[in-house]
């Protein structure tokens, strides 16, 4: 059974969102380093929504016995050719953001639908050492 921890619309108040994510990470039992990973990964996904998605979207977080999952919903959607790069192109902010998200999380899934993108980030609660 999962426990819902966060539902927040995406807006320009990133400081408040980051503070809420830190609280969610701590509540879920993540180590401090992993809380930082969570905040960085979600921040990058939200920046993409603000930059390319016209700021329409939301952030949801829930946990089960094994992981903390955050879903960032972009109501504008990404073009279907978007993919997670093996190596980032630092001159392309989107490519770099996807790479950072993949490095910070245990699992990154992107579900592209017409007019909607779901970015799901998962961090394991098992072997969660400092």
Average pLDDT for residues 31-46, to the nearest whole number?
96
Rg (Cα) of the chain, in Å, rounded?
A: 14
pLDDT score for 113: 81
What is the third-level CATH fold of 3-124?
Heat Shock Protein 90 (3.30.565)
Which tens digit of pLDDT belongs to each residue from 48-80? 888 875 668 999 999 999 999 999 999 877 655
What is the pTM (predicted TM-score) of this model?
0.86
Helix, strand, coil shares of the chain as percentages rounded to 5?
35, 30, 35
Which tens digit of pLDDT belongs to each residue from 9-27? 999 999 999 999 999 999 9
Does position 127 have pLDDT exceeding 60, yes or no? yes
- Percent with pLDDT over 70 in the chain: 82
Domain boundaries defined on the chain? 3-124
């Amino acid at each position: 059974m999962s426990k819902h921890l966060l539902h927040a619309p995406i807006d320009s108040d990133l400081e408040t969102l980051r503070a809420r994510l830190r609280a969610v990470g701590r509540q879920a039992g993540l180590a401090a380093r992993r809380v930082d990973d969570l905040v960085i990964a979600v921040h990058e996904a939200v920046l993409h929504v603000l930059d390319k998605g016209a700021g329409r979207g939301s952030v949801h977080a829930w946990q089960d016995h094994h992981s903390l999952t955050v879903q960032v919903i972009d109501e504008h959607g990404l073009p279907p050719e978007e993919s997670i790069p093996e190596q980032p192109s630092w001159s392309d902010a989107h490519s770099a953001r996807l790479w950072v998200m993949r490095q910070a999380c245990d699992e990154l899934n992107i579900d592209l639908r017409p007019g909607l993108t779901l970015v799901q980030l998962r961090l394991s609660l098992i072997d969660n050492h400092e």
